[in-house]
């Protein structure tokens, strides 16, 4: 396993910028894409429910179908592939499988598993929880994908500018899943410009307002 220094790690964070112009000739294999997604899958999530699904567009015809839904933004068809990050609105249904695996490994007792599963299902009776937790945790996976891609020499752009309802209809997304962002991935055709950020003192509050 290759070890990276703290400086190298921080440079990934600092050098990640949204790219909107990609080299359309650069292709990635399914294996390369799956490698990125497997690392993305290790993102943290509440209760380890993994509140996400990845709908991947790597075929030119599929990206052409996506293009008008994303209001004609050309990075959709120029990028090597596009990932739609979907929030799982019924992630509580994952609890039995997640904690059952922990019981099988001997890292959790059946009694604790049953208690946790019961608590999760109870929490999901709150009508705000499925959507809030889905968007929050799926967004963590989206960020992990962008950082992973940058670490491997690729560029990305998160996109909220698309017609979510049309997306659902065209790509037959089940009611369980909510599309929250598109992420384009590929090789930049030209360097992204660094966007400005507020001074840290303007966005940091210590201990209380």
Pick the residue with more confidence: 191 or 2? 191
Sign of the dihedral defined by the CA atoms of residues 28, 186, 46, 6, in that order: positive
Nearest in space to 145 (alpha carbons), one of 85, 190, 187? 85
In the predicted structure, residue 104 carries a pLDDT above the cut 70: yes
Q: Residue 3: is its pLDDT beyond 70?
A: no
**What is the model's pLDDT at position 15?**
84
pLDDT at 191: 82
Is 169 or 7 the better-scoring residue by pLDDT?
169
Domains and CATH numbers, the chain: 17-90+129-203 (3.40.109.10)
Residue 190 reports pLDDT greater than 90: no
pLDDT digits (tens, 9 = 90+) for 37-73: 999 999 999 999 999 999 999 999 999 999 999 999 9
- 19 versus 69: the higher-pLDDT residue is 69
> What whole-number distance in Å separates Cα of residue 133 and Cα of residue 124?
9
Q: How far is CA 64 from CA 23, 71, 79, in A?
A: 16, 11, 12
Q: Do 152 and 36 contact (CB within 8 A), yes or no?
A: yes
Has residue 140 got a pLDDT over 70? Answer: yes
């Amino acid at each position: 396993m290759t070890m990276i220094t703290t400086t190298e790690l921080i440079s990934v964070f600092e050098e990640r910028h949204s790219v909107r112009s990609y080299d359309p000739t650069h292709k990635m294999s399914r294996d390369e894409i799956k490698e990125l997604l497997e690392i993305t899958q290790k993102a943290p999530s509440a209760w380890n429910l993994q509140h996400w699904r990845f709908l991947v567009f790597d075929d030119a015809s599929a990206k052409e179908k996506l293009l008008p839904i994303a209001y004609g933004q050309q990075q959709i068809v120029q990028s090597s592939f596009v990932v739609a990050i979907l929030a799982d609105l019924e992630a509580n249904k994952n609890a039995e499988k997640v904690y059952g695996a922990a019981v099988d490994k001997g890292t959790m007792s059946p009694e604790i598993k049953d208690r946790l599963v019961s608590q999760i299902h109870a929490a999901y009776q709150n009508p705000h929880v499925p959507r809030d937790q889905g968007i929050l945790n799926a967004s963590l996976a989206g960020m992990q994908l962008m950082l992973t891609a940058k670490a491997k020499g690729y560029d990305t752009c998160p996109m909220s500018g698309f017609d979510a309802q049309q997306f659902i209809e065209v790509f037959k997304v089940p009611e369980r899943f909510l599309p929250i962002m598109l992420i384009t991935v590929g090789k930049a055709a030209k360097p992204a410009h660094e966007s400005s950020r507020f001074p840290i003192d303007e966005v940091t509050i210590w201990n209380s307002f």
